[in-house]
Structure 1
Amino acid sequence: MSEIKINKDLQVAMKAALKAGEVIMQVYDTAFNVEIKDDKSPLTEADKKANDVINSFLKPTQIPIISEENKQTGYDIRKNWDTCWIVDPVDGTKEFIKRNGEFTVNIAFVNNGKPEHGVIYVPVSKTLYYADVIEQKAFKAELTSHDVEITEVLKLSNPLQTREDNEVTKVVGSRSHMSQETLDFVEALKTTGQQVEIVSKGSSLKFCLVAEGNADIYPRFAPTMEWDTAAGQAICNAVGVDVISEDTKAPLLYNKENLLNPWFVVSKSEN
């Protein structure tokens, strides 16, 4: 495989994600406490420690940061940002608490509302996904340690490739509690004569399932925030997979006044 060359900001995000994964696993292996935030979502020591680590890598870039665990900057200031980082230190805190391994570190670089670089790290399996949308390249590296040089990551990287058209359409959904809207979406696919199979994953790994060819489509008809989706959208966009708002029928945009996303569907571009 030819040598992979990656943008310096993407390298910073990769290093931050790896180091965050290391501190997350230090907490994961202890009897950690769980707090409940004002929005009723859970928070652990891992979220806080990972956020501190990621900030320590990203702040020197002098690019502003939107993180789930940072105090949010007002839109009167944010609206003037051309670029920003969008971060979820532990995406899938509920999965972390269940200790099922399906949680991630999400870091995205956004330019004028569009994700240009994305990193998703799975600390339990030491699997790193990363992408450069401008270069239209996305990779997956299976690592043996969190403490690894970027040159070694590049050697272990394989390009992501989406699924070719198959008789069975694989839809990303929940095994245990599919929303009525998602069930209706699946039924609509079936009426076109398609065989449908449901595949399930936690956190931003749902995006990775489509980007790496283990699923065809991911309908999300439930609330998400920008930090839940920005890195996953970058990884998908880099391999020709769209993340389309149900409201606008256009790609999701970032650093919006309201950081809540509309419902969306992830699927291969029809172009």
Structure 2
Amino acid sequence: MNKLLQIAIKASLEAGKVIMQVYDTAFDVEIKDDKSPLTEADKKANDVINSFLIPTEIPIISEENKQTDYNVRKTWKTCWVVDPVDGTKEFIKRNGEFTVNIALVNDGKPVLGVIYVPAVKTIYFANVESNKAFKANLDSHNVTVETILKLAKPLQPKNNSSNKVEVVGSRSHMNEDTLNFVEDLRNEGKEVEIVSKGSSLKFCLVAEGNADVYPRYAPTMEWDTAAGQAICNAVGIKVISKETNQPLIYNKENLLNSYFLVSK
């Protein structure tokens, strides 16, 4: 297995361990300048992940790190893109649907990706170059990479030939663009079912064949999507910008993503 992928896997497990230590306490919630919530788990997980990634001497873009000026970043050929706790709102609700996202980006494209779901100890990981992505259900955060490889099962997207389309979205509220997307499918005669998940697990739903398409008509940042895109790309699922009609790219001057569509 790729050495950098191994490091990312180990970092995600250790981050998951400290996240769950906070999850099981009465934690405080801060509100950041952009109005998004921040908990002790975000900060502790970020410190743990940095401790694994800094020794690789590859620069890091993390939601919880101070962002490096683009004049410096634009010289980076390779970088890590990290969200220590993706789905902090899910974490605060204690519904378990939050993840650790770690991706390696080369020339703007995600090439390795890890998504760890600490509440249920499920890990997804992918090497885009080898066209392989896997999922493993673990008994503990304290497992070796060798154990993970033994438990890992390859991800297989749906080969949908039926009239039913499973769309990743919110069961309780969808914005107008997403509703229009669903309505267009229905106008084509499709039977639409909405499948709901929090955080980057939305990408995993499509990559592992539990949904057909994920339309995202709401703001996301690069750290929300890089690992999920790697996992999808490794199994032939595209993540296409609605602005450029090209795959989402990373380490942009503005780290905000355009709206996008995840599908075959």
Q: TM-score range with shorter-chain normalisation?
A: over 0.9
C-alpha distance in structure 2 between counterparts of 1:164 and 1:136, whole Å = 17
Give the aligned partner of residue 73 of structure 1: 68
- Partners of 1:256 and 1:188 lie apart in 2 by 32
In structure 2, the residue matched to 1:189 is: 185
Determine whether 1:95 maps to 2:107.
no
Counterparts of 1:177-216 in structure 2, within 5 Å, are 177-216=173-212
Query: Counterpart in 2 of 1:3?
Result: none
1:62 matched residue in structure 2: 57
Matched, 1:46 2:45: no
Aligned length: 263
Q: 1:131 aligns with which of 105, 126, 129?
A: 126
Residue matched to 1:83: 78
| Alignment of structure 1 residues 96-245 onto 2, 5 Å | 96-165=91-160, 166-245=162-241
Offset at 1:193?
Answer: 1.1
* Structure 1 match to 2:243: 247
SS in 2 for 1:117: strand
TM-score, normalization by structure 1? 0.97
1:117-149 residue CA offsets vs partner (Å, 9 max, x unmatched): 000000000000000000000000000000100
More deviation, 162-171/65-74? 162-171
Equivalent-residue separation in structure 1 for 2:183 and 2:172 (angstroms): 17
2:116 match: secondary structure: strand
2: distance between equivalents of 1:41 and 1:223? Answer: 12
Amino acid paired to 2:122: T
Q: Mark the runs of 5 or more structure 2 residues left unpaired by the alignment.
A: none
Aligned alpha-carbon RMSD (Å): 0.4
Letter in 2 for 1:60: P
- Return the alpha-carbon distance in structure 2 between the equivalents of residues 140 and 37 of structure 1: 33
1:167 positional shift = 2.5
* Residue 265, structure 1, aligned to residue 261, structure 2: yes
**One-letter identity of the residue aligned with 2:255:** L
Mapped partners of 2:159, 2:96: distance in 1: 28
The residue type equivalent to 1:159 in the other structure is P
Q: Aligned partners of 1:171, 1:149: CA distance in 2, in Å?
A: 35
Whole-Å separation in 2 of the counterparts to 1:178 and 1:32? 30
Q: Which deviations, in whole Å up to 9, do the C-alpha atoms of 1:70-109 show, x marking residues without a partner? A: 0000000000000000000000000000000000000000
Secondary structure of the corresponding residue to residue 185 of structure 2: helix
Deviation at 1:44, TM superposition (A): 0.2
Q: After superposition, what is the alpha-carbon deviation per residue over 1:168-214, rounded to whole angstroms, capped at 9, x for unaligned?
A: 10000001110010000000111111111000000000000000000
